[in-house]
Amino acid sequence: MSNTARTSNPNSGATNQSLRAHNLSLALRHILASPGAINRAGIAAQTGISRATMSRLVDELIASDLVEESEDKLSTGQRGRPTSVLSPTSGKVIALGLQVNVSALGAYLVDLSGTVLAHECVSGDFSGADPTSTLRKLARIARRVLREGGNPGALFLGSSLALPGLFSADTLTIAPNLGWRNIPREELLRPLHDLAVTLVANEADLAAYAVAYPRPGVPEGPDSFIYVSGEVGIGGGLIVNHQPLSGAHGWSGEIGHICVEPEGDICSCGARGCLETVAGLKALGHAAGLGDNASTREILQHAGHSSRAQDAMTHAGHALGQALSAVVNTVDISQVYLGGLVAEIAPYLLPSLREELATRVLQAPWHTPQIDILPHSEDLSLRGGAHRVLDLIVDDPIHWKDQAITLP
């Protein structure tokens, strides 16, 4: 939607239709932000829209099954007098977040309130796995989740697909740790043909979106930050002013492929000395003396009595600090979130990581970057993907029915 369509200034040249769409979106966002705690008069007061106009807008949202109205004792200044409060409809408007990772496949079904209605994750080793057979497995998981959590008559908006890779407009260019390269979008999504995939994106970008938007349409998370997560690889997602910083081709945030050791090991991407070759799971297992297939748990257990494992993670902290410093100095952000493998081994990483940030970040003497650990981040990409799909209807409530599928 254009900037013109998003303004409520009648002198802006916006059409009546675009102004109506903007106001519907505005009303819906207020309801999503305060579910069960706001009424028509409250939204009118907060937005400056007249009560009569707001009442018509709310009626339209209710008729579209986006919002429901119920009686509650909202404070009105008159003790005990009930008033009608507004909430997103429960389980009525839904979307799927799907994910392929090196070690797992997953599907989350989420409604407009952000409630997870059903989910399933299946562990496995998908490095080098055939893309078509892998996505067929994911499709079976997704259909089970949709059957379990999707009620008859629910309006299914579609699915997102999170992958540890880079995408152009019509091609999965590379997912190095899966071993996938140059797969046309149409071919990639063919096994998911009945799941209405509207978005294919990098898993770290979608996880960062879930941090910024913990509920669909509600930017109540941090304003600007980088989210860093790791497994075999290291990924990053950047949010600036609550908007994803995607770059010209949607490839920003690839912190795992910042060079930290010019004479280091060859990375799966083909370059030498990338952060992943020092701080990725295989690299840590090898450096700790446990081999390339060691799990995070095994590395942490070994670190309890092995100076070699401790040194490996200290070295990884220095490398991550170098890479993060480059990002912080370039983008001017002061908030870092760590998830996945990076969060699990954070107690060993943080001293050397903080040392590098304090030394290398120009703003550090005045604004030391804050580091927060997200210990339960395994579902963030799934949630973020579903939220992105649901946000399509939040942005444009008028035309959403044209794309929704009514479940039998």
**In the CATH hierarchy, which fold is given to the domain comprising 4-88?**
Arc Repressor Mutant, subunit A (1.10.10)
> Where in the chain is CATH 3.30.420.40?
93-213+380-406, 225-373
**Token pair listed for 378:** 């395994």
Yes or no: domain 93-213+380-406 corresponds to CATH 3.40.50.11710: no
Whether 187 and 125 have beta carbons less than 8 Å apart is answered as no
The strand pairing partners of 384, in sequence order, are none
3-state secondary structure at position 165: coil
Give the pTM: 0.90
Chain mean position to CA 250: 14
Contact 250, 167 (CB under 8 A): yes
Contact between 219 and 212 (Cβ < 8 Å): yes
Closest by CA to 325, choosing from 368, 386, 286, 382, is 368
Say if CB 178 and CB 163 are below 8 A apart.
yes
Range(s) within the chain of domains with CATH label 1.10.10.10? 4-88
pLDDT, one tens digit for every residue, the chain (408 residues): 333 333 344 444 447 778 888 999 999 999 999 998 999 999 999 999 999 999 999 999 999 999 999 886 545 545 555 678 999 999 999 999 999 998 899 999 999 999 999 999 999 999 899 999 999 999 999 999 999 999 999 999 999 999 998 888 789 998 988 999 999 999 999 999 999 999 999 999 999 999 999 999 999 999 999 999 988 889 999 999 999 998 888 888 899 999 999 999 999 888 999 999 999 999 999 999 999 888 899 999 998 889 999 999 999 999 999 999 999 999 999 899 999 989 999 999 999 999 999 999 999 999 889 999 998 898 999 999 999 999 999 999 988 777 789 999
Looking at CATH, the fold of the domain delimited by 225-373 is given as Nucleotidyltransferase; domain 5 (3.30.420)
